[in-house]
Amino acid sequence: MAKQETVEHKYVYAFAEGNKDLKELLGGKGANLAEMTNLGLPVPPGFTITTEACKAYLATREEPDGLADQIAAHLASLEQAMGKRLGDPEDPLLVSVRSGAKFSMPGMMETVLNVGLNDRSVQGLARQASGAHAQTSGGADRFAWDSYRRLIQMFGKTVCEVPGEEFEHALDDAKRAKGTHDDLDLDADDLRGLVDAYKKIFFKHTGREFPQEPREQLDLAIRAVFESWNAERAVLYRRQERIPADLGTAVNVVAMVFGNLGPDSGTGVAFTRDPASGAQGIYGDYLANAQGEDVVAGIRNTVPLQELERLDKKSYDELLGIMARLEGHYRDLCDIEFTIERGKLWMLQTRVGKRTAAAAFVIAGQLVDEGLIDLDEALHRVNGAQLAQLMFPRFRLDHEFQPVAKGIGASPGAASGKVVFTSARAVELAAEGESVILVRRETNPDDLNGMIAAQGILTSRGGKTSHAAVVARGMGKTCVSGADEIEVNVPQRRFVVGGQTVVEGDVVSIDGTTGKVYLGEVPVMPSEVVQYFEGSLDPEHVDNPLVRAVHRIMSHADARRRLAVRTNADTGADAARARRFGAEGIGLCRTEHMFLGDRRELVERLILARDNTEREAALAALLPLQRADFEEIFREMDGMPVTVRLIDPPLHEFLPPLEQLAVNVAVAQERGEDVAQEEALLAAVRRMHEENPMLGLRGVRLGLVIPGLFAMQVRAIAEAAVTVTRSGAVARPEIMVPLVGAVQELETVRAEAEKIIAEVVGDSGVEVLIGTMIEVPRAALTAGQIAEAAQFFSFGTNDLTQMGWGFSRDDVEGAFFWRYLELGIFGISPFESIDRDGVGRLVRIAAEEGRAARPELKLGVCGEHGGDPESVHFFHEVGLDYVSCSPFRVPVARLEAGRAAVETDGSDSR
């Protein structure tokens, strides 16, 4: 056979020719069937048509040259191996034609079973079935006609687009006529009648008879599998799962084995461990006297796999042996499909199985214990997104609650609340202190206020990139999108699901991780993983496999990572929590909150100061307050670096809004009250109004324009550091100047700061670093110059993204990002994950040129990207010293920094 194939393209591989690493070419199913064949496991013989053939077909809508001949050659050797010919009227070989792409796309593409049956071979099949076994010919007839009706059904549906319901209805009619609900009660005659009915349906929809020629059936089925790559649901699924559109599917042609030959036959699925919890053991379902999809289609009740031990001990033991072998071979959880034909076990599929986040950690830990993988590999097999999932509170689902619908888990979390259907109502009820869930068919930018007010968002349409999903993720709000079982009726303020009506004010619960929707309030429980991070669960003593696995893998990540992880924290409490979560310093302490609350009044005095004396008085009043804030944080972070950013936002943000002031003034005037102060404020607000405050008087510009402002902050930092150090702790302040675009700006601020620091610090031993944010594109491009005046850079990637793209974050995300995502302009919001090519390039340039100018320059990043898994890998590659993120993301960043080190620096033998 191989000799004839000296043609340029090899489009067809016998199972014996492939292996598990050829997924790209043979698809996951084909590659693993080959692997199992080569392991000597009982796989029915067959061959795989490559994804290359599929791509060639899809490009021209014609089978590529040589494909038909190669199929013929492989079919001939399959026939030889089986001692039967495809569709032979006396003793037919039947085959299945199965899709299988590189990435598993469950249920998205097509499979046709029993190819090769026709009006004559169905008789032959029946004769063979009765002859080969002491079975009544009635049973054998039944089996043959059941197989034939399944072929017409699957072939009609997938190859010729006959509506599947028509076949379903005919089957229901047959069962009704027989007075039964169980298809096993249909006998050979009933099924023969059903075949006639199916053929009529086929003819009605296609205008032709059901094809009797076996090779034609095979060719048409192969072509249909190729075509199914571009079926609408497959395209949609790929977009959602970010699977490339140009991979194509392979086609597997496999000799049929029969699970529907009687009670000593059957079919099942199994996992080598529990994919939900990771627990060791055998998990699966078995259905006797059934074929293929029957198990998952839920037409009859399956039994737990353990029952098979009683039904067929020999096959059961063999299956367990094979499962153990597959786990050892793949060194991972496997999921498998198998069939038993008259007491003989056949393996039809295996793959490394999908699992929950918890199971991913637990299994990785177990496999290390079992010596199958090392800790580097364990680290590689979990990820930050899974860890983040495990840190959300979860619904406690031990009793009574059954989901009424399932959509897409669009933004994780567990939320319960009263149903509302409009943004306005959400805002109203939230103002009364109620938790609400905003339910819409789909959201649009007008729903923004409602989304902010709601505890969670539920939509009946749209996927992971819909408006609702994108905006909810940006806000960190729980969201389930595309729950299409729900019929939303906004005008009537209700939705219907599974025959139940839910009206405004009823309580529902939504799980943004699983996408499940529940009626009523499901109780929530805290995450054990968070309890562990907080120190209230001791991993060495608690009997919780998840906590133990997380502890073990996190410890390894810490040992391996090169990036330090700091946190963004503005208060002592945040700092303390982040420290428990493993933060090694503060990368961003914002000082703006220190100007809020009852301190606003001091800021007003500062802004309204008519001369130096008044301004200095206002600053002098602020100084001790700021100093106290810094002392608290330095004490909390004893020994660790704390980067304090000088004030960044425009000062008018601290004043009341213009409209409110105008009203106040008018009302006071009306009453004849003294309005001098209000009027002065109003005038100041008018004067300071900016069309575009994000690009206005903020950051370093404030320091240069308002005398004494930065000086006061620098003094507060230095004095706090000295006080804390004198009390026996170690303060390591780093002063960070925001929004610098030119070295001259930084030099000016620095000259003033150094004078103050020298004066305050004296011989206390305190060392204060001065550095800058790199967040204006010009700063990144002149980093070599700026590094001359900076001891550290901290990349402010939020602003860098904003200014790099020209996006105003507050305006664009809710307005049109969903459309950009839909169009594939970017695969993920550049505010969520760093845009490597553009904004990332600015980071790279600044890091390289900054280090060239000053080799000891410390480099870090603060801003949302510091806690984003993908971005952490990028920052590792660029060679930053640390990332800084919100306290809750610290464990995620630690884990991903460890993974990045293992992936880019290679394994070591630790």
Residues 6+ apart with CB under 8 A from 100: 26, 27, 28, 29, 30, 48, 109, 249, 250, 251, 252
| In the complex, least distance from residue 72 CB atom to ligand ADP, rounded to whole angstroms | 19
Which among 461, 384, 402 has a CA at the least distance from the CA of 898?
384
Q: Which stretch binds Mg ion (CB under 5 A): 10-18, 79-87, 279-287, 794-802?
A: 794-802
Catalytic residue among 74, 467, 652, 865, which?
A: 467
Measure the CA–CA gap between 129 and 45, rounded to whole angstroms: 20
Nearer to ligand ADP among residue 284 and residue 292 (C-beta): 292
Closest approach of Mg ion to the CB of residue 720, in Å: 23
Q: How are beta strands 414-420 and 436-440 bridged, if at all? A: parallel
Query: Taking CB under 5 A as the rule, does residue 219 contact Mg ion?
Result: no
Give yes or no for residue 699 binding ligand ADP (CB under 6 A). Answer: no
DSSP code at position 867: G
Measured distance CA(354)–CA(333) in Å, rounded: 8
What residue spans of 694-808 are helical by DSSP H? 700-705, 709-726, 743-761, 777-781, 783-787, 797-805
**Are 198 and 149 within 8 A, CB to CB?**
yes
The answer to the question of residue 339 lying near ligand ADP (CB under 6 A) is yes
Taking alpha carbons only, the member of 107, 15, 9 closest to residue 51 is 9
> 348 contacts which partner out of Mg ion, ligand ADP, none, CB within 5 to 8 A by kind?
ligand ADP
Window 722-761: contact mask with Mg ion (x via CB under 5 A): ----------------------------------------
Q: Assess 113 for contact with ligand ADP (CB under 6 A).
A: yes
Contacts of 57-66 spanning 24+ positions with Cβ under 8 A? 57/223, 57/226, 58/226, 58/227, 58/229, 58/230, 58/248, 63/219, 63/223, 64/9, 64/11, 65/7, 66/7, 66/8, 66/9, 66/11
Token pair belonging to 603: 């800021």
Q: What's the closest the beta carbon of residue 319 comes to ligand ADP, in angstroms? A: 14
Nearer residue to ligand ADP within complex by CB, 128 or 349: 349
The rounded distance, in Å, linking the Cα atoms of 132 and 258 is 13
Binds 249, which of ligand ADP, Mg ion, none (CB < 5 to 8 A, cut-off by type)? none
Nearest to 411 by CA among 375, 385, 376: 385
> Does residue 115 bind ligand ADP (CB under 6 A)?
no
257 binds, among ligand ADP, Mg ion, none (CB under 5 to 8 A by kind): ligand ADP
Among 349, 386, 797, 833, binds ligand ADP (CB under 6 A): 349
- Pick from 799, 769, 763, 741: nearest CA to 859: 769
What does the CA dihedral 646, 651, 654, 655 come to, rounded to 10 degrees?
170
Site for Mg ion (CB under 5 A): which residue of 775, 835, 868, 896?
Answer: 775
Please list the residues that pair with 92 across neighbouring strands.
85
- Give the binding-site size for Mg ion (rule: CB under 5 A): 5
| Residue 293's binding partner out of ligand ADP, Mg ion, none, with CB under 5 to 8 Å set by partner kind | ligand ADP
**Between 553 and 736, whose beta carbon lies closer to Mg ion?**
736
Q: Does 337 bind ligand ADP (CB under 6 A)?
A: yes
Whichever of 678 and 775 has its CB closer to Mg ion, that residue is 775
CB 122 → Mg ion: shortest distance, Å?
A: 25
Q: Which lies closer to ligand ADP via its Cβ, residue 107 or residue 505?
A: 107
Candidate ranges 254-262, 404-412, 471-479, 603-611; the one touching ligand ADP (CB under 6 A): 254-262
Closest Cα partner for 515 from 552, 478, 490? 478
Amino acid identity of residue 378, one-letter, is A
Secondary structure class of 511 (helix, strand, coil): strand
Name the minimum Å distance from CB 114 to ligand ADP.
9
Question: How far is it, in rounded angstroms, from Cα 731 to Cα 636?
Answer: 10
Rounded to whole angstroms, how far apart are CA atoms 588 and 738? Answer: 11
Q: Is the Cβ of residue 2 or residue 132 nearer to ligand ADP in the bound state?
A: 132
Comparison of 70 and 111: residue with beta carbon closer to ligand ADP: 111
Nearest residue (CB) to ligand ADP, 339 versus 643: 339
Q: Which of 224, 348, 502, 803 binds ligand ADP (CB under 6 A)?
A: 348
**What's the chain's length in residues?**
910
Which among 381-389, 458-466, 771-779, 817-825 is the span making contact with Mg ion, rule CB under 5 A? Answer: 771-779
Q: Return the range that interacts with ligand ADP (CB under 6 A); candidates 107-115, 161-169, 417-425, 776-784.
A: 107-115
The listed partner (Mg ion, ligand ADP, none) that binds 274, CB under 5 to 8 Å by sort, is none
The 10 Å Cβ neighbour count of residue 489 is 13
Distance of CA 1 to the CA centre of its chain: 45
Is position 862 annotated as part of the catalytic site?
yes
Of residues 286, 294, 280, the one with CA closest to residue 323: 280
Least Å from the CB of residue 159 to ligand ADP:
15
Kindly state whether residue 23 participates in binding ligand ADP, applying the rule CB under 6 A: no
Closest CA to 158 of 122, 198, 110, 191: 110
Counting contacts by CB under 6 A, is residue 107 touching ligand ADP?
yes
- Contact partner at residue 796 from ligand ADP, Mg ion, none, CB < 5 to 8 Å by partner kind: Mg ion
Q: For residue 457, give the DSSP letter.
A: E
From the list Mg ion, ligand ADP, none, partner contacted by residue 130 (C-beta under 5 to 8 A by kind): none
Report the residue closest to Mg ion, judged by CB: 799
111 contributes a contact to ligand ADP by CB under 6 A = yes
Which of 43, 254, 345, 637 lies at the binding interface for ligand ADP (CB under 6 A)? Answer: 254
State the binding partner of 799 from Mg ion, ligand ADP, none, CB within 5 to 8 A by kind.
Answer: Mg ion
Q: What SS3 state is found at 503?
A: strand
Q: Which of 602, 640, 605, 642 is nearest to 624 (CA)?
A: 602
| Near ligand ADP in 267-306, by CB under 6 A | 267, 292-293
Q: Which of 479, 589, 862, 885 is flagged as catalytic?
A: 862
User: Using the 8-state DSSP alphabet, how is residue 97 labeled?
Assistant: E
Name the burial class of residue 175, with classes exposed (0-12), middle (13-18) and buried (19+) by CB atoms within 10 angstroms of its CB.
Answer: middle
Whether the CB-CB separation of 582 and 891 falls below 8 Å is answered with yes
- 256 makes contact with ligand ADP (CB under 6 A): yes
Q: How far is the CB of 596 from Mg ion (least distance, A)?
A: 18
- Paired with 253 in beta bridges are 47, 97
Structure tokens at 520: 């009523």
Tell me how far, at minimum, the Cβ of 875 lies from ligand ADP, in Å.
Answer: 39
**Encoding tokens for residue 3?**
């000799």
Rounded to whole angstroms, the Cα distance separating 237 from 756 reads 61
Question: Where does this chain touch Mg ion (CB under 5 A) — which range of 321-329, 660-668, 789-797, 893-901?
Answer: 789-797
Site string for ligand ADP, 502-541 (x = CB under 6 A): ----------------------------------------
All residues at 6 or more sequence positions from 692 whose CB lies less than 8 Å from its CB, including other chains = none
| C-alpha to C-alpha distance for 203 and 185, rounded to whole angstroms | 27
CB of 119 to ligand ADP, least distance (A): 22
Whole-Å CA distances, 600 to 158, 463, 678, 711 = 69, 44, 14, 19
96 contacts ligand ADP (rule: CB under 6 A): yes
Q: Does 864 bind ligand ADP (CB under 6 A)?
A: no
Tell the smallest beta-carbon distance from residue 191 to ligand ADP (Å).
18
Whether 873 sits among the annotated catalytic residues: the reply is: no
Site for Mg ion contains 349 (CB under 5 A): yes
Min dist. Cβ of residue 463 to ligand ADP (A): 21
Q: Which is nearer to ligand ADP, 255 or 578 (CB)?
A: 255
Residues binding ligand ADP (CB under 6 A) = 44, 96, 98, 107, 111, 113, 254-257, 267, 292-293, 337, 339, 348-349
Residues with a known catalytic role: 467, 862
Residues binding Mg ion (CB under 5 A) = 337, 349, 775, 796, 799
